[in-house]
């Protein structure tokens, strides 16, 4: 499916890697070959998306860049350099949608016949098996705008803002990048997805720009009149020794710092959802649950809300965007500080990728544990971050950034 979809200039593959969850609907989704494309920057993007959906009432796949914050909160700016160049928002209506669900393959599109679906299925089966090849022809060392010392100074400066009462928590990120590098994106995705399988993995191509994503986090899902958000805050390494690993899980569960960070984001999400929810319907379904992934353990909470049937889908998304787990609190002030202290534009990183159904349901991930690649200028980038609070140890925050980057680093060796 991946190789077949990658033949087209625009495609999106979403893979849950068989993670058990009551909220998952599809094992794998592939959308390929754009019939119509919406590509806009912050300003009137959410209105444009609502109009795009209202016209077509069909499957739409695409992304929301972090820098849509400049539309959600007028007055915010994005002045830092961006080596990738994804539009702030892009959605496409695919000619073909392939769904893997309960050991069945569903292939369809507008006015698709059974013969056309069978032809696509057979084309997928005929795709040649790729000879294993390096995903990245490495020509330079990995570089970063914030080295260890500059990162530590920035964290201490942010803690100064917290001490002065400017904010409570800041999600602070640093970019790693390579220039002049040749990448074969499908192989890179396969390698990353093998090393670090995640429930919100994504391979996303828009012409010469690519996202290779192994995200463990859901931003927002809507099914009928129910919307859920599942923010992650709280991270621990894993250990091959089961006894040590169990101890690490228990330490994460009992960590006062990690729980405080998680609960702070839960309160922020509750507030975000309350703008479009029916009164009294916002509920915390699970608080500070511990979940294990390939490289780390995470603390995850689930918040749900009920919507009025006449609420436009983009209104729900825009009120919750950007996601609190990637900003901090209070949102507006920390987004100003993020722009001040980070040295590169986030772009698609810490934004969202996902789909909207013909019925108006949707599901979006949080773009973390991800690589971005611009084939035109041969620029490869990935960012990692952590939550900075008053009680943060700057060295441990640095180590958390390195831990989250582990799987992506391994794909570049």
* Residues known to be catalytic: 217, 233
Peptide bond before 109: cis, by omega within 30 degrees of 0? no
DSSP string, 315-342: HHHHHH-S-GGGTEESHHHHHHHHHHH-
Residue 352 and residue 123 in contact, taking contact as beta carbons nearer than 8 Å? no
| Separation between Cα atoms, residue 355 and residue 220, nearest integer Å | 11
Structure tokens at 233: 């805050």
Structure tokens at 312: 């436009």
> With 0-12 CB in 10 A as exposed, 13-18 as middle and 19+ as buried, what is 193?
buried
DSSP string, 114-131: HHHHHHHHHHHHHSPPPP
- Cβ count within 10 A of residue 344: 21
- Cβ count within 10 A of residue 365: 28
Report strand pairing: 209-215 vs 370-374: antiparallel
DSSP string, 87-109: -SEEEEEEEEEEEEETTEEEEE-
| Separation between Cα atoms, residue 61 and residue 328, nearest integer Å | 27
Question: Which backbone phi and psi does 97 adopt, to 5 degrees?
Answer: -125, 125
**Contacts with 118 (C-beta within 8 Å, 6 or more apart), sequence order:** none
Q: Which neighbouring-strand residues pair with 378?
A: none
| Separation between Cα atoms, residue 328 and residue 161, nearest integer Å | 13
- Cβ count within 10 A of residue 316: 21
Q: Which neighbouring-strand residues pair with 328?
A: 170
Q: Which neighbouring-strand residues pair with 355?
A: 61, 363
């Amino acid at each position: 499916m991946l190789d077949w979809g990658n033949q087209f200039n625009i495609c999106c593959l979403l893979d849950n890697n068989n993670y058990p969850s009551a909220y998952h609907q599809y094992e794998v989704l592939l959308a390929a070959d754009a019939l119509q494309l919406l590509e806009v920057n912050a300003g009137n993007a959410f209105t444009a998306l609502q109009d795009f959906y209202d016209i077509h009432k069909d499957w739409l796949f695409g992304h929301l860049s972090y820098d849509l914050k400049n539309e959600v909160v007028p007055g915010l700016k994005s002045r830092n350099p961006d080596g990738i160049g994804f539009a702030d928002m892009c959605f496409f209506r695919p000619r073909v949608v392939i769904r893997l669900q309960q050991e069945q393959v569903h292939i369809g599109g507008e006015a698709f016949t059974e013969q056309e679906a069978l032809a696509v299925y057979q084309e997928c089966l005929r795709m040649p098996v790729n000879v294993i090849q390096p995903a990245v022809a490495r020509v330079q060392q990995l570089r970063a705008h914030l080295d260890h010392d500059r990162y530590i100074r920035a964290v201490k400066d942010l803690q100064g803002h917290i001490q002065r009462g400017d904010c409570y928590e800041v999600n602070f990120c640093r970019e790693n990048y390579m220039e002049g590098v040749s990448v074969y994106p499908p192989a890179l995705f396969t390698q990353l997805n093998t090393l670090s399988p995640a429930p919100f993995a994504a391979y996303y191509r828009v012409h010469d720009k690519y996202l290779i994503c192994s995200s463990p986090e859901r931003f927002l899902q809507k099914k009928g009149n129910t919307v859920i958000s599942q923010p992650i805050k709280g991270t621990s390494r894993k250990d091959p020794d089961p006894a040590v690993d169990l101890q690490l899980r228990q330490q994460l569960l009992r960590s006062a710092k990690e729980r405080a960070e998680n609960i702070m984001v839960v309160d922020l999400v509750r507030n975000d959802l309350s703008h479009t929810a029916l009164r009294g319907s916002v509920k915390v379904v699970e608080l500070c649950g511990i979940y294990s992934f390939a490289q780390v353990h995470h603390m995850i909470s689930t918040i749900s809300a009920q919507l009025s049937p006449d609420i436009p889908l983009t209104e729900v998304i825009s009120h919750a965007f950007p996601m609190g787990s990637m900003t901090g609190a209070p949102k507006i002030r920390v987004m100003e500080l993020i722009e001040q202290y980070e040295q590169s534009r986030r772009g698609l990183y810490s934004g969202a990728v996902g789909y909207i159904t013909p019925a108006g349901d949707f599901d979006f991930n949080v773009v973390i544990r991800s690589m971005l690649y611009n084939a035109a200028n041969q620029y490869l980038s990935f960012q990692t971050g952590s939550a900075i609070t008053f009680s943060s140890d700057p060295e441990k925050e640095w180590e958390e950034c390195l831990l989250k980057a582990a799987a992506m680093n391994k794909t570049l060796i």
